[in-house]
Structure 1
Amino acid sequence: MKLITWNIQWGLGADGRLDLARLVSDAKAIADFDVLCLQEVSDNFAGLKENGGENQFAAIAALLPGYTAVEGIALDVPDGKGGRRRFGNMILSRLPVAQVLRHTLPWEADTTRNMPRQLLEAVVEAPFGPVRVMTTHLEYSSDKIRRAQVDGIREAHRMACDRVALPREDGPGTYAQFPTSRSAVLTGDFNMRPHDPTKLRISEDFDNGAPALMDSWRLLNGAQDHPPSFCIYDRTSGQPHCCDFIFVSEDLAHRVSRVVYDQDSQASDHQPVLIELAR
């Protein structure tokens, strides 16, 4: 299974041009991906730089026919004209998608400029079995909020593994069961650097025996520094550094065959990251 994660900055490139088709084309040039996880997708947000207000969830889905498009709305606010403005994450999969969950992450009170965040989860039928693919975009301004959000992600993973160990009763209609798994891939823009204690918290052990969430780059490269994934071409937010990661549950560690931080695309202020999981 080939998966790419990318904070697309609503399609705004380092050259100041907003082009969703270019972004999808760049992703395809990196790999013939099975799953694409996106952050910073917008709908009806004309106030964002170069953004005309289109529904980008629908536009991206149209650019990838044959992929199941799953929306994860973190921010949902009125536009003052009777409509809604939406902002969040997205998963697109050409592999079959079973149940989808949308976890609202903790939003602690804090005086920084902050906003609601979400963890989007979709069970994908990979060639080697069902995998819970999760993608998120954590708070930028507040470590206090990020810590709470990491605990929220860990709790979502813990409960999912508990549900596998203690299956619920099957039933008709809304109670029907669908495939799930302890195996998971967690992706996104975590707004933390590789050695941040809150980032390291993600990979701590669980007291219920759930498989730990391991940094896939570290699995293949040990202590070698992560390549930068942010501010390579647009340094408005600082010097180049890494804040985009792909974690895999411990039971998938042996399947990680390749992790690539693309350094060439300028279709966003972030760089896409590819992971390949072997059969």
Structure 2
Amino acid sequence: MLRIITWNIQWGLGIDGRVDLERLIAEARGIADFDVLCLQEVSDNFDTLKNNDGSNQFAALAALLPGYTAVEGVALDIPDEAGGRRRFGNMILSRLPVTQVLRYTLPWEAAPTRNMPRLVLEATVETGSGPLRIMTTHLEYSSDKLRRAQVEGIREAHRTAHERVITLREDGAGTYVRHPVTSSAVLTGDFNMRHEDGAKKRLSDPFENGAPALVDAWQALNGEKAHPWSFCIYEQQHGEPHCCDFMFVTEDLVPRLRSMTYDQRSQASDHQPVLIELDL
């Protein structure tokens, strides 16, 4: 059984106003003995964020999970006043062997809203059933135009991954060493849009090159039953409670889906953690 948790951790800022990464990891472990943890809103040197001490959270989270491979995905990389760098982005921690890691910078269209660059972080892990690509992302909050462009960027990353499966490249030495490729994937993250959003539905459209479609795992397991709330449950600063945290699996993995759970008890972030279990 493969267990994956995705969580927008808001740099560890809980509803109580306390930033506590140890609490986050303890709560994630309480949800499941996870194999892969996908995180959004991880920071480094960002003491300008609410109650953040500016520490390197990428390193801190890696230290809290010593048996896991820690993969960083920095979307925002800007200078601070002292000549250092402030970094903000996503992270994947896997206790399964990690092979190829890719970082896709998503399209950053212009909009008059408050917005920032975004990416998709991808790690290919070795499972008992073969390689699996695990992707995590965090799409723009303020602009539908930007999100739609970012959705096309995600689809392009998945399309090209499938192309590399059906068009096997020549092997080589050094930087040209070939690693396992696969069209099978799990896509997780905070998509900053609701289920009925057209851009969210666009993610599951078919591909002309035959790449397996990205299927909403909750819908695959529960049909038209509404997604549980994953945001604004305990704090309504950004609106009424709703779901914007989703997990997709490629259609070949749908028969392997066993369960999906939205943990609505946690108050360690303004988002709720989400667990998926697959027979892999």
Q: Distance in 1 between matches of 2:217 and 2:133?
A: 16
1:150 corresponds in structure 2 to: 151
Q: Could you tell me the TM-score, scaled by structure 1's length?
A: 0.99
Using the TM superposition, give the Cα deviation of residue 138 of structure 1 relative to its aligned residue in structure 2, in angstroms. Answer: 0.1
2:99 aligns with 98
Alignment-mate amino acid for residue 216 of structure 2:
D
1:168 is matched with which residue?
A: 169
Give CA-to-partner distance per residue, 1:114-139, whole Å, 9 cap, x none: 00000000001122111000000000
Question: 1:8: which partner in 2?
Answer: 9
Structure 2 spans left out of the alignment, 5+ residues? none
Cα distance between partner residues in 2 of 1:253 and 1:231: 29
Cα distance, 1:154 vs structure 2: 0.1
SS of equivalent to 1:98: strand
Q: Give the aligned residue type for 2:54.
A: G
Deviations 1:61-112 (A, max 9, x none): 0000110000000000000211000000000000000000000000001111
CA distance in 2, matches of 1:277, 1:171: 34
Flag as ranges the 4+ runs of structure 1 deviating above 3 A. none
CA-CA distance at 1:262 after TM superposition:
0.3
Q: Which residue of 1 aligns with 2:217?
A: 216
Q: Distance in 1 between matches of 2:267 and 2:128?
A: 32
AA aligned opposite 2:43: S
The alignment yields a C-alpha RMSD, in angstroms, of 0.5
Report the count of equivalent residues. 279
Distance in 2 of aligned mates of 1:227 and 1:145: 25
How far does residue 235 in structure 1 lie from its aligned partner after superposition? 1.1
Aligned residue number for residue 121 of structure 1: 122
Distance 2:114 2:205 in 1: 29
User: What does residue 138 of structure 2 align with?
Assistant: 137
1:70 corresponding residue in structure 2 = 71
Give the percent of matched residue pairs that are identical in Structure 1 and Structure 2.
71
Q: Separation in 2 of the partners of 1:29 and 1:127?
A: 24
Per the normalisation by structure 2, the TM-score is: 0.99
User: Take 2:269 and 2:191, find their aligned partners in 1: how far apart are those partners?
Assistant: 16
What amino acid maps onto 1:231 in structure 2? Answer: C
User: How far is the alpha carbon of 1:172 from its aligned partner?
Assistant: 0.2
